[in-house]
Amino acid sequence: MKTTFLILELLIAMALIGLILLQNGKGGLSSGVSSDTYRTKRGAEKVIFIATIVTGVIFLFVSIVNLLVA
């Protein structure tokens, strides 16, 4: 059972890394603080952003379950 969770955790981690690398590099803290360049995420960028958050939460859940499984 522990091996199954380890493999699942590895697969989710690889998916999370891939989703992070797919995101636009011009967002976040690297874009500066000016408010006139603010824009909303649309289309595929929004889907990738939400999928990254969901995958991160699933990774956290699987990691905690992996710790509790003996």
Q: What is the pLDDT of residues 44-67, one digit of tens each?
A: 889 999 999 999 999 999 999 999
Largest Cα–Cα distance of the chain, in whole Å?
Answer: 53
What pLDDT sits at residue 57?
A: 97
Which pLDDT band holds residue 42 (cuts at 50, 70, 90)? confident
**Amino acid identity at 28:** G
**Displacement of CA 57 from its chain's centroid (Å):** 8
Return the closest-CA partner of residue 10 out of 66, 48, 51, 50: 66
